[in-house]
Amino acid sequence: MKKVSVVIPAYNKADLTVTTVRSVLGQTYGNIEIIVVDDGSTDDTREKLQIFGDRILYIYKQNGGACSARNIGIKKATGEYIALLDCDDIYYPEKIAKSVECLEKKSDFGFVYTGAYFIDGCGDVISEHRAAGGQPSGWITTKLLQENFICNSTAVIRKECFEIVGYFDENIFIPADLDMMLRLSEYFKAAYIDDQLTGYRISDSYTASHMETGINEYVYVINKAFSRNKSLSDGFKKRCLANMYFSFGINYAINSKFIKSRDTLLKGVLNKPLSLRGLLLFGGLLIAPKLIQKVILYLRPINHYLIAHRSTELEKGSDLNA
């Protein structure tokens, strides 16, 4: 039974990190190494994790971001497989067993990812996440450039892959997982398990309050990918950029930032002028922004939870724009 190293970057989420570690200890798979890299937490993360004793490897470092914490964990790992798990997400009991079984059967595949449940702060299921595009497996780079369909905390990767593609880019945060999956997908085939084996917690509103940063980081990641893949056309790059701008434009609309939404959607239309979706959204936000917002929320029910959560945080006085 090959060893799996589960790398958990942790920062100021002590209680959730304990829940995350417990979900790994509850796996049906027996040979697991748990590495928690505390990225300079100022809460009681260290103290609360002491209950696990030597069942986990706890590493404390000065704050440098989740990517630097992941990189330290990967380098310290002794397992043949690396599983990446954020400190507020959870594994369901058969997550590791099914992932390893898949990679053992598909020896020519470099990594596996799975479906997930979106969960709230209490761990209750809100919705489910399934990969778009017909559950893509194999060589997925071009599909991944058009839409980031790999959910955080579902990937299990052969450790040897990092020797070829390198480690997480510590210059970015929001699309860091996409950047890594793109690099992996350029060298290795991906396997997809159509089963919700991870609980992905959506209570963190960081992305919603840092969308300008997110856009800049996504452009950076897309430019990096196209610089590595010279055979991909400029027209395809424009379509990928358009899809990204449309996605952020929709998120701006959800958060009632209609001017930002229109400006971002316009960038998408300029990259993909014949996009009916982009033109309808842009035109609709010019004429009836509140109506378009309601339509988006109706078509994407999970966003009702995101809006409600954000409103609750604002009522509590949280500085979401910091």
CATH number at residue 186: 3.90.550.10
Q: How far apart are CA 83 and CA 8, in angstroms?
A: 9
Query: Of 149, 181, 201, at which residue does a domain stop?
Result: 201
- Write out pLDDT tens, residues 138-185: 999 999 999 999 988 999 999 999 999 999 999 999 999 999 999 999
Are 312 and 165 part of one and the same domain? no
pLDDT at 208: 65
Q: Residue 231: which domain range?
A: 206-316
pLDDT at 284: 85
Are 158 and 276 part of one and the same domain? no
Are 40 and 134 part of one and the same domain? yes
Are 78 and 187 part of one and the same domain? yes
pLDDT at 300: 67
Domain membership of residue 179 (yes or no) is yes
Task: Give the global pTM.
Answer: 0.89
Query: Of 144, 176, 201, at which residue does a domain stop?
Result: 201
Q: Give the count of beta carbons closer than 10 Å to the beta carbon of residue 115.
A: 19
Q: Give the count of beta carbons closer than 10 Å to the beta carbon of residue 212.
A: 12
Are 169 and 288 part of one and the same domain? no
pLDDT at 129: 83
pLDDT at 228: 97
Are 70 and 8 part of one and the same domain? yes
pLDDT at 303: 54
Are 62 and 138 part of one and the same domain? yes
Number of domains in the chain: 2
Instruction: Say if CB 8 and CB 73 are below 8 A apart.
Output: yes
Domain membership of residue 321 (yes or no) is no
Domain membership of residue 60 (yes or no) is yes
pLDDT at 296: 76
Are 210 and 196 part of one and the same domain? no
Q: How far apart are CA 143 and CA 281, in angstroms?
A: 23
pLDDT at 282: 80
Are 193 and 220 part of one and the same domain? no
Instruction: Say if CB 157 and CB 111 are below 8 A apart.
Output: yes
Domain membership of residue 285 (yes or no) is yes
Q: How far apart are CA 129 and CA 116, in angstroms?
A: 5
* pLDDT < 50 regions, the chain: 304-305, 307-322
Place of tokens 């309808």: 280
Instruction: Say if CB 19 and CB 123 are below 8 A apart.
Output: yes
Are 249 and 195 part of one and the same domain? no
Are 193 and 212 part of one and the same domain? no
- How much of the chain is in helix, strand and coil states, percent to nearest 5? 50, 20, 30
Nearest to 64 by CA among 199, 167, 148, 182: 167
